[in-house]
Amino acid sequence: MNAPDELEELVADLEAEQTGLQARLATVDGDAWFRATPAKGWDVRDTVAHLADTDELAIDTCRNGPRSLNAFASKLASAEDVTAWGVLRGRAMPGTAVLQWWKRTSADEREVLGTLDADVRVPWGLGMRPASFVKARLMECWAHGLDVHASLGSTPTDTDRLRHVAWLSVRAIPYAFGFAGRERPAGALRVTLDAPSGGVWNFGPDDAPNVVTGSAGEFCRLFVHRLRLADARTLEAEGDGAHAALEVARAFL
């Protein structure tokens, strides 16, 4: 698959993730917008506002606009302030208006992402290639979608789009060790996951001395901090490096 074809398929997966959650949100009305989510201090409306605002940040980052992430963050005191910016914008609107805002921004975002040159580096944090950046936007939508479903009492259906989240999670392991201030144990790591469709996904060399196995859903939830390691029923680790990778799991900035 060449780069333009890969990007087109990734953007299509992003669209499916976004529009699927938007369809669920279209059924929300009244006080349900203000139901608390597992994210401390956030309700459903706050979560959707965050998605809309970060889509706008993504657009400006791709276009070198005034709210390009790194430039915008440099003007504020902390990363928490960047996040709060969008949430506070949403609190000035009814929930239905916030949903319409996100529908517009997500559509605009997909249009911009689909036109990126595969060789550019999107200056999001340390920088990401377009394919990785689209996967990161999908991961953001999926993770916050879990919060929305939990708040509304609905059960999300895992799909094979989680492969993108799993790939990012594996790639983020060196970053996760650095973030945790821990030295990574020696030896390569192999991750073998049971896909929602029934297949198996493998990441890493066959002869790695450190091996993680389990369901893709649990692995991805762990790395976006929607599941505690103690509550993971299928994840198993063999080798010090595998155990440590699950302990520091983190796939986001």
pLDDT at res. 126 = 85
Per-residue tokens: 196 = 């929602």
Is the pLDDT at 79 greater than 80? The verdict is no
Is the pLDDT at 77 greater than 80? The verdict is no
Flag whether the pTM goes above 0.85.
Answer: yes
E-assigned strand segments in 156-252: 189-194, 200-203, 210-215, 236-238
Is the pLDDT at 29 greater than 70? The verdict is yes
Q: Are 63 and 120 in contact (CB under 8 A)?
A: no
Question: 55-59: long-range contacts at Cβ-Cβ below 8 A with a sequence spacing of 24 or more?
Answer: 55/102, 55/105, 55/106, 55/108, 55/109, 55/137, 56/86, 56/105, 56/109, 57/82, 57/86, 58/109, 58/112, 58/113, 58/124, 58/133, 58/137, 59/105, 59/108, 59/109, 59/112
Is the pLDDT at 143 greater than 90? The verdict is yes
Is the pLDDT at 2 greater than 80? The verdict is no
Would you put residue 189 in left (φ > 0), alpha (ψ -120 to 50) or beta?
Answer: beta
pLDDT band at 1 (very low <50, low <70, confident <90, very high): low
pLDDT at res. 16 = 98
Name all domains of the chain by residue range, CATH numbers in brackets.
Answer: 3-152 (1.20.120.450), 162-247 (3.30.1050.10)
- Averaged pLDDT, 93-97: 97
Which of these, 202, 192, 188, lies nearest to 239 by C-alpha position? 188
Which of these, 161, 178, 170, lies nearest to 126 by C-alpha position? 178
pLDDT at res. 32 = 97
- Residue-wise pLDDT for 41-64, tens only, equals 999 999 999 999 999 999 999 999
Q: DSSP letters of 58-92?
A: HHHHHHT-TT-HHHHHHTSS-HHHHHHHHHHHHTT
Which of these, 140, 145, 169, 136, lies nearest to 62 by C-alpha position? 136
pLDDT at res. 243 = 98
**Which residues make Cβ contacts (< 8 Å) with residue 84, sequence separation at least 6?**
none
**Which residues make Cβ contacts (< 8 Å) with residue 1, sequence separation at least 6?**
9
CA distance 164 to 77: 32
- Distance set, CA 100 to CA 48, 51, 134, 155 (Å): 10, 12, 21, 23
| Chain mean pLDDT for the chain | 95
Which of these, 25, 23, 17, lies nearest to 110 by C-alpha position? 17
Is the pLDDT at 163 greater than 90? The verdict is yes
Per-residue tokens: 155 = 């059960």
Q: DSSP letters of 30-68?
A: GGGGG-B-SSTT-BHHHHHHHHHHHHHHHHHHHHT-TT-
Is the pLDDT at 78 greater than 80? The verdict is no
- Residue-wise pLDDT for 206-241, tens only, equals 999 999 999 999 999 999 999 999 999 999 999 999
pLDDT at res. 147 = 98
- Residue-wise pLDDT for 178-201, tens only, equals 999 999 999 999 999 999 999 999
